[in-house]
């Protein structure tokens, strides 16, 4: 059972303002809840169906700091941002650890990514390719948005996500700055890079002019068909698969 106040608190975390105020966010769904419970993250609340809680007793007991609430399906779906039926929802504390920006290793830099699905998918791509850092421009969508958490599939646990002034970060870069653009050189002719920063631009406007000026290489995925552009996350995935060390 959840108290009225707890219910209100958890619901408030769908809003950026309250996530920031309380330094907490929601991670939900069977797969994602398990990923977070397997980690050392500080969990505040575990809200779950009885069957799920029984089945995952061992994982839950890893987190004595968390309050466990067994609820009915209707209570859970009232809290949920997901459309499909859910089994568990966690409230997780944001880590307050200060993280140093990447200097001489691979990173993905995001210039104003607005779609939470794209943001989460890019975090998942970094996680797949072993890229340890994502550097978000201050204008990007909040990376603790429930849809970002959903699409990242636990990527937040392994990828360090920074938020900073992107121009400043790129100006000080010691590695090649690769910008995905529609008029760059052919991706397929480029050798794999030991270290680099890959810059992905806004979904409709692409990379802003001030950031484009900081590119050491502009790269294009060769087009054979009629589409005007590729999805931002798909472009990031394609470029990573060609340029990361194999």
Which residues are near a copy of itself by CB under 8 A?
Answer: 31, 117, 121, 124-131, 151, 153-155, 157-158, 187-188, 204, 221-231, 233-235, 237-238, 241-242, 244-246
- Read off the tokens for 162: 């920074």
- Considering the complex, state which of residue 64 and residue 222 has its C-beta at the smaller distance from a copy of itself: 222
- Considering the complex, state which of residue 34 and residue 69 has its C-beta at the smaller distance from a copy of itself: 34
Q: Is the dihedral of CA 6, 10, 11, 16 positive or negative?
A: positive
- Considering the complex, state which of residue 28 and residue 127 has its C-beta at the smaller distance from a copy of itself: 127
Least spacing, CB of residue 172 vs a copy of itself, in Å: 25
Least spacing, CB of residue 204 vs a copy of itself, in Å: 8
Least spacing, CB of residue 69 vs a copy of itself, in Å: 26
Residue whose tokens read 């969508």? 141
* Gap between the Cα atoms of 21 and 186, Å rounded: 45
- Considering the complex, state which of residue 85 and residue 130 has its C-beta at the smaller distance from a copy of itself: 130
- Considering the complex, state which of residue 30 and residue 75 has its C-beta at the smaller distance from a copy of itself: 30
Least spacing, CB of residue 225 vs a copy of itself, in Å: 3
Least spacing, CB of residue 237 vs a copy of itself, in Å: 4
Strands (E) located in the chain: 24-28, 43-48, 67-70, 88-93, 107-110, 133-137, 160-164, 177-186, 197-200, 217-220
CA-to-CA separations, 16 to 133, 144, 146, 214, in angstroms, rounded: 22, 8, 10, 31
């Amino acid at each position: 059972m959840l108290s009225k106040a707890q219910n209100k608190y958890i619901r408030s975390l769908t809003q950026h303002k309250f996530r920031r105020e309380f330094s907490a966010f929601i991670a939900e769904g069977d797969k994602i809840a398990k990923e977070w419970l397997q980690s050392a993250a500080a969990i505040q609340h575990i809200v779950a169906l009885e069957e799920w809680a029984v089945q995952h007793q061992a994982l839950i007991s890893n987190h004595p700091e968390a309050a466990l609430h067994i609820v009915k399906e209707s209570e859970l779906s009232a809290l949920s941002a997901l459309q499909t039926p859910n089994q568990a929802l966690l409230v997780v504390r944001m880590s307050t650890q200060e993280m140093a920006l990447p200097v001489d290793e691979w990173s993905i830099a995001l210039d104003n990514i607005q779609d939470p699905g794209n943001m989460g998918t890019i975090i998942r791509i970094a996680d797949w390719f072993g890229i340890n850092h994502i550097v978000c421009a201050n204008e990007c969508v909040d990376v603790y948005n429930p849809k970002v958490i959903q699409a990242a599939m636990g990527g937040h646990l392994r990828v360090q996500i920074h938020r900073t002034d992107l121009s400043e970060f790129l100006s000080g870069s010691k590695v090649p700055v690769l910008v995905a653009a529609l008029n760059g050189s052919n991706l397929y002719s480029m050798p794999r890079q030991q270290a680099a920063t890959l810059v992905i631009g806004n979904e409709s406007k692409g990379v802003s002019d001030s950031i484009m000026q900081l590119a050491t290489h502009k790269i294009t995925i060769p087009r054979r068909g009629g589409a005007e552009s590729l999805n931002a996350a798909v472009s990031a995935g394609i470029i990573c698969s060609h340029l990361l060390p194999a």
